[in-house]
């Protein structure tokens, strides 16, 4: 039986789905076909409304049409950017595999090869993400953070045209579509922590389908542990506050107490203008990734993250 992979129409989505199709062919030896699905997110963007304005992260605006197609039996597999997936499970759908993640960091694409520190005071930096906006404001560089909409290509185009001095994007997205040459600085997570799950893919299938076991071969245990910790941070923090959140976890080989793997997690919650922030880190056993992330977030709430409110809510 040919495996049908549902994909959104964007270049990034098609590249990601194509990558998973290739993995399925090579590692599972199965026939694969891509099926294009138009999501509400695509329709809304086409209508000119920025997705970040209508649906903050957590509502999974790009996700539901793919899941609908999965549950209706129109496709067998759905591929998502993990950072677009809500933290709560969807009935009938299983997250069967999280493959090795791409570089999770954010990058700057600026005019004239400039870095953040080289941009002049008042330079216009485009991002639609409250998380990126707050963290850039927190650097105190006097930059003018402004909203931006459209796909990756459109955003880069706004730097080329001079409308913006720079935009902030996920390195993983640029890597996947072969546009890394546009990057003028990769942002240090000490300054800008990525969105939970950034750079990772989530491969879903129907719960109980034979593909649940087959797709497990594409799972990367270290990526899964890191992403589980990040998603636990998000789930716990969004239960207690509406602040923008950045978090990054890594599993470091042989760094544990008895030479085993060690999980490291960093996280930040900020006021939308970046003037207040709670930043903390933790480490633990990768086998308890969810607990490590949950505990870290609870400590952040106790340290004042619960008071960092925002109307805008979370977003990638």
Ligand X SMILES: NCc1[nH]cc(CCC(=O)O)c1CC(=O)O
Give the count of alpha carbons within 13 A of 302, CB side only.
Answer: 7
Of 7, 17, 198, 310, the one binding ligand X (CB under 6 A) is: 198
Least separation, in Å, of the C-beta of 198 and ligand X? 4
Residue 150 Cβ, how far from ligand X at the closest point, in Å?
11
Residue 69 or 148 having the CB closest to ligand X = 148
Is 97 near ligand X (CB under 6 A)? no
List the x/- string, 156-185, binding to ligand X by CB under 6 A: -------------xx-xx------------
Q: Are strands 262-270 and 245-252 parallel, antiparallel or unpaired?
A: antiparallel
CB of 71 to ligand X, least distance (A): 22
From the list 235, 234, 279, 248, the residue with the least C-alpha distance to 134 is 279
Residue 285: burial class (beta carbons within 10 Å; 0-12, 13-18, 19+) = middle
| Residues 297/308, Cβ–Cβ less than 8 Å | no
How many residues belong to the chain?
Answer: 316
Residues 239-258 that bind ligand X (CB under 6 A): none
In degrees, to the nearest 5, what angle opens at C-alpha 52 toward C-alphas 136 and 248? Answer: 50
**Beta carbon of residue 40, minimum distance to ligand X (angstroms, whole number):** 14
| Minimum gap (Å) between residue 299 Cβ and ligand X | 26
Could you say whether residue 316 binds ligand X (CB under 6 A)? yes
Under the binding rule (CB under 6 A), the answer on residue 109 touching ligand X is: no
Looking at the annotation, which residues are catalytic?
Answer: 84
The correct pick among 76, 84, 204, 250 for binding ligand X (CB under 6 A) is 84
Interface pick for ligand X out of 199, 202, 244, 286 (rule CB under 6 A): 199
Q: With helix as H, strand as E and coil as C, how does 81-106 read? A: EHHHCCCCCCCCEEEEECCCCCCCCE
| Complex with ligand X: residue 169 or 218, whichever CB lies closer | 169
Q: Is 63 in the site for ligand X (CB under 6 A)?
A: no
Q: Which helix (H) or strand (E) holds 266?
A: strand 262-270
Residue 83 in contact with ligand X, rule: CB under 6 A: yes
Output the residue with the shortest Cβ distance to ligand X.
173
Least Cα distance to 238 among 59, 94, 53 occurs for: 59
**Cβ atoms within 10 Å of 89's Cβ, excluding its own:** 11
Q: Pick the closest to residue 128 from 157, 161, 151 (CA basis).
A: 151
Residues found near ligand X in the complex (CB under 6 A): 81, 83-84, 169-170, 172-173, 198-199, 316
């Amino acid at each position: 039986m040919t495996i049908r992979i549902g994909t959104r129409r964007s270049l990034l989505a098609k590249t990601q789905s194509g990558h998973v199709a290739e993995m399925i062919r090579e590692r599972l030896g199965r026939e694969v076909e891509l099926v294009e699905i138009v999501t509400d997110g695509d329709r809304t963007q086409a209508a000119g409304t920025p997705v970040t304005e209508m649906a903050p992260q957590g509502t999974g605006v790009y996700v539901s049409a793919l899941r609908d197609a999965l549950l209706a039996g129109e496709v067998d597999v759905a591929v998502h950017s993990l950072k677009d997936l809500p933290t709560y499970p969807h009935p009938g759908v299983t997250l069967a595999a999280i493959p090795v993640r791409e570089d999770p960091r954010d990058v700057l694409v600026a005019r004239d090869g400039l870095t953040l520190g080289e941009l002049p005071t008042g330079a216009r930096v485009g991002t639609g993400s409250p998380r990126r906006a707050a963290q850039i404001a927190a650097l105190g560089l006097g930059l003018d953070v402004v909203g931006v909409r459209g796909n990756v290509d459109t955003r880069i185009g706004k730097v080329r045209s001079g409308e913006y001095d720079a935009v902030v994007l996920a390195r993983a997205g640029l890597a996947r579509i072969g546009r890394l040459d546009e990057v003028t600085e990769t942002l240090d997570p000490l300054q800008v922590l990525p969105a939970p799950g950034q750079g990772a893919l989530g491969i879903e299938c129907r719960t109980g389908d034979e593909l649940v076991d087959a797709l497990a071969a594409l799972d990367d245990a270290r990526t899964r542990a890191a992403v589980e910790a990040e998603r636990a941070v998000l789930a716990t923090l969004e239960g207690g506050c509406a602040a923008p959140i950045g978090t990054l976890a890594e599993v470091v080989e042989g760094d544990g107490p008895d030479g085993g793997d060690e999980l490291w997690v960093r996280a930040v919650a900020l006021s939308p203008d970046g003037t207040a922030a709670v930043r903390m880190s933790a480490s633990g056993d990768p086998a308890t990734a969810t607990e490590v992330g949950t505990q870290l977030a609870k400590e952040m709430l106790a340290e004042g993250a619960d008071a960092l409110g925002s109307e805008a809510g979370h977003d990638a």
